[in-house]
Amino acid sequence: MSTLLKNIDTFFFRKISAGGFGLMRMFWGLTILWWMGTMYKHVPFFFSDAGLIPTDLGYLSFRSEYRFTLLEYIVEPNQVYMLYFAMLIAALLTTIGKWARVSTTVTVILFFSFQERNLLPLCGGDTVLRCIGFMLVICPELRAFSIGRAVDQWKNWQKKKKLLPDLQMSIWPYRLLLWQATIIYLFSGIEKGLGTMWWDGTAAAAVYHHTHFTMFPKWVMDILSGGTAIVSYFTLIYELAWMFILVPHFISRRLPQVIHPGSYKRALLLGGLIFHLGIGLTMNVGIFVVAILVMYLGLMLPEDWKALKAFFNRKRKGKTHLLFDGHCGLCQRSVCFLHQMDSLGRLDFVDFHDEKRRKKIDPTLKFADLDKAMHMKTVDGRTEKGFDGFRMISWDIIWLWPIAPLLYIPGIPVIGRRIYAEIAKRRRKCDHEGCAM
């Protein structure tokens, strides 16, 4: 009995990193901001009494029971717009994690209110966003990847020169999210299996020629239709494959191991990434693809992040050393910030005042040079400094990947070097909280 209780306790309350749900919160907020933000000009039409469904025609569309929406009371276009902007602001705060718990809850209430006001334009992506929103509200820890957390990290860095350990949470919200994902795929697969076209291998060609969804001209979709059988069967097999995630470990470990033990979910997520990117590139299915990929973030456990990190770092022989001025407040702040963004763990931060370490990394580096700019030295001996160093390590920091290519645009390096030199020159005037420019 006690073993059973212990197993139940582990199953629901094992501690995991809250990073996955933190990331999911961040991208969920961003998705709501983008998806609802682009609806700006349709707001009165979709959601007010002056639009498609005035309250007196609500009986044609509204659910008659258990329906809660603030837009039942707020019906005038201007008032609806105010609520709409409140939702966008809340979504922005959710994204950056300002008052994460409150802002997420407010976004959920407002987003759900808009969804419940008019069911007619909603698609699968809207439903996925609602499901994620619900999971976030009930999740006990939402502060990972938030502004508040960054401030806490900075305070700790000032005192101890190291980051706080990962925020932890019980695993049960992850389990519920995994069940939600399984329902989506498995039930969709079973429903497809009840038809005939997916089995005949003709379904994908029909989808490719449904011009409500296709994004390319007919001749492109004609060519793609040559692979209809493969795509149809892949879809069926992929969706039904989610049923095996329900097989408990004590059974699955006795079965023939086709893939690396414990990596079945990762294989499904990778398959899903390919599957949904394929859909996203060829079809217009609203917000569905983005919403599903946002959900994947919450499905990543620490061991999954570790495996992903190992994959990205598989060709690296060591870390890049970043030599900074440990006596300068601005440098400390920058290093703390870079440390938090170093998700792939590729950087080694070294205070160049630590002579022993400095000489171990590169005895030829001169103090006077180091005092002028941060130096970065890779494991293969390449040394860059200042703006060029930042540009080099921007490829090591996953969060900087979107801007990394931009740093090579002609003109940007010239401006970047100048700005860097000016800041470096004045950095002594900075303390931990600000700079006198």
Q: Is 373 in a helix, a strand, or coil?
A: coil
284 forms part of the interface with other proteins (CB under 8 A): yes
Site for other proteins in 151-190 (CB under 8 A): 170, 172, 175-176, 179-180, 183-184, 187-188, 190
Site for other proteins in 75-94 (CB under 8 A): 77
Sequence-distant (≥ 6) Cβ neighbours of residue 409 within 8 angstroms: none
Site for other proteins in 115-154 (CB under 8 A): 115-116, 120-124, 127, 130-131, 134
Cα 283 off chain centre by: 22
Name the DSSP letter for residue 411: T
The smaller minimum CB distance to other proteins, of residues 77 and 278, is found at 77
212 forms part of the interface with other proteins (CB under 8 A): yes
The smaller minimum CB distance to other proteins, of residues 280 and 413, is found at 280
Q: Give the shortest CB-54-to-other proteins separation in angstroms.
A: 8
Q: Per-residue x/- mask for other proteins, residues 238 to 257, rule CB under 8 A? A: --------------------
* Choice from 96, 150, 197, 400 touching other proteins (CB under 8 A): 197
Q: How many CB atoms lie within 10 A of CB 434?
A: 11
Q: Give the shortest CB-125-to-other proteins separation in angstroms.
A: 9
Q: Give the shortest CB-199-to-other proteins separation in angstroms.
A: 10
Amino acid at 267: A
* Choice from 14, 30, 44, 244 touching other proteins (CB under 8 A): 44
Query: How is residue 77 written in tokens?
Result: 């276009």
Q: How many CA atoms lie within 13 A of 348 on its CB side?
A: 11
- Angle between helices 2-13 and 172-193 in degrees, nearest 10: 80
* Choice from 14, 30, 39, 421 touching other proteins (CB under 8 A): 39
Q: Per-residue x/- mask for other proteins, residues 213 to 232, rule CB under 8 A? A: -xx---x-xxx-xx-xx---
The smaller minimum CB distance to other proteins, of residues 38 and 257, is found at 38
Q: Is 68 in a helix, a strand, or coil?
A: coil
Cα–Cα distance for residue pair 405/114, rounded to 1 Å: 38
Sequence-distant (≥ 6) Cβ neighbours of residue 45 within 8 angstroms: 51, 52
Q: Give the shortest CB-138-to-other proteins separation in angstroms.
A: 8
How many residues are there in the chain? Answer: 437
Name the DSSP letter for residue 257: -
